[in-house]
Amino acid sequence: MPLVCLSEFEAYAKKHLPKASWDFIAAGADECCTRDDNLMAYKRIHLRPRVLRDMSVMDTKTTVLGTEISFPVGIAPSGFHKLAWPDGERSTARAAEAMNVCYIASTYSSCSVEEIAAAAPAGLRWFQLYIHRKRTLSEQLVRRVEALGFQALVLTVDVPYTGKRRDDLRNNFQLPTYTSKNFEGAFEDEDHTNDERLHAGSVDYSVSWKDIGWLRSLTRLPLILKGILTKEDAELAMKHGVQGIVVSNHGGRQLDSVPASIDALPEITATVQDKVEVYLDGGIRTGNDVLKALALGAKCVFIGRPALWGLAYKGEEGLQEVLKILKDEFCLSMALAGCRNVSEIGRHLVQYSKL
């Protein structure tokens, strides 16, 4: 029997992945209030469809930073895809290339950036960066991805420290030894393994707005900041000359009780006023969700956990199925709402529930 919606892929992954791996993927911070509200927030938004609009020709295509994609959904950065599928991020990259969507590869991919680029040489790839305490590692990584044809740099800004994820503590979860491929051999001259050095306080706690200039000096790639939730930080991002913002609460895995991403989005888009592109991740599970996010000003949305569920189901093929379902649902939602193309999606399509 085929899987017909993303919740069925979730159920499959939960049943078939080892419990500790499932708990790591599913985890939210503390009481998981934000993780769960990322989903519930979409249910508080209602659609206002227009009718008799001639839906005989539909077009889901859009662009991100000037590059055309088949529909406004991409794959968010998440680490350690080999937890879900043996071929890891290579399968993720191939699925994204096949569906002509953007894939943001993680600093902590379980395949190297070279392996990811070789797996899908024609794919649209961005690279997500954590700034390591040993800055030269980050500098080298930025130069590697630019040379490999990655088209943008996505700096995650909401992880000065890692949020408390209770299931991981209960499970005494330890990442497998393959998780540091981008830093292979980086610590051979020190009395620690790669994994000990990379997963025990590896992120530079001192990173601040002054480091945006330093990062821009390393590369000609466009810079996107991921993890913005307030208008104040959106204003600072624009002052520092970034090309994009990802409205994100890290899937509810960092500071608990912050707003759902979709609830934070209107404040950001009202502040930015189309001066930079605004994207969103967190809680996308249906084509309806995609439509609502675009109506509230997102240029594109990115999926995190659902990509891993697709990999857990059938690797590259399973992730393509997840993306195809979202694309079909999004196209149907557009048609039923009276939007023939992405440019016709706007704030007029949504209203918030009074309940």
Which residues are designated catalytic? 250
Q: Which two tokens stand for residue 121?
A: 């040489």
* Chain-centroid distance, C-alpha 269: 18
**What is the C-alpha separation between 235 and 328, in angstroms, rounded?**
35
Instruction: State in Å, rounded, how far the first CA of the chain is from the last one.
Output: 37
In contact, 117 and 148? CB cutoff 8 Å: yes
Alpha helices of the chain — where are they, by DSSP H?
Answer: 6-16, 19-26, 33-43, 89-99, 113-119, 135-147, 166-171, 194-198, 210-218, 231-239, 261-272, 287-295, 305-337
Q: CA angle, corner 154, sides to 153 and 159, nearest 5?
A: 140
> CB burial class (10 A; 0-12, 13-18, 19+) of residue 66?
exposed
Residue (of 64, 322, 22) closest to 170 by Cα position: 22
**R_g of the chain computed on alpha carbons:** 19
**What is the C-alpha separation between 77 and 175, in angstroms, rounded?**
17
